[in-house]
Amino acid sequence: MVAMYNTFMDDFYCDEVISGRTKVKVVFETDRVLAFHHTKPHWPVHIVVIPKTHIPDILSPVCDEKLLSELFSVIRRVAVNVVKEHGSCRIITNVGGYQDSKHLHWHVSFGDPSLIVRRNKYDKLIKEAVEDHRLGKTKVLRTKKDIHEFIYRRNA
């Protein structure tokens, strides 16, 4: 990965991803653009496409047409693969107050975000069940049925 970045106030993409401090699963890469699986996905398929240099947003004067063309080429390539595999996708970017990270980026995603929320909640409940069992607060959880009953009682 070529580190062509300028650090900007708390910019996760520059400070962590492009610098290599946070390892990511690369989907596609050019000299100026990186597409990778989101480190904390909001959808079952969640790929982020970023320029390797700091650009605050699509409205920034430093966002030149050549880079935009390369970004859209990569976004299209990623989207084609997601659609081939899943049948559809979303392509999203935000500007201003809607933009969490002040580094130009697009999300290419597929799936129901609630599946991620439910999976995270289920994982948390499983950890709680194991801990309660370890502390002697619950009976032995041997089967999926035992685990589901525990979760049902915990949510009731």
Map out the domains of the chain as residue ranges: 12-111, 115-155
Looking at the chain, the whole-number percentage of residues with pLDDT higher than 70 is 74
Q: Catalytic residue at 42? A: no
Tell me the average pLDDT across 20-30: 97
Show Cβ contacts of residue 112 under 8 Å, excluding neighbours closer than 6 positions. 43, 44
Query: Which is the catalytic residue, given 103, 105, 107, 148?
Result: 105
- Give the separation between CA 81 and CA 10, rounded to whole angstroms: 31
More confident residue, 13 or 147: 13
Confidence grade of residue 20 (pLDDT, cut at 50, 70, 90) = very high
Token duo for residue 74? 């990569």
Highest CATH level, class, for 12-111: alpha beta
Residue count (the chain) = 156
pTM for the full model? 0.71
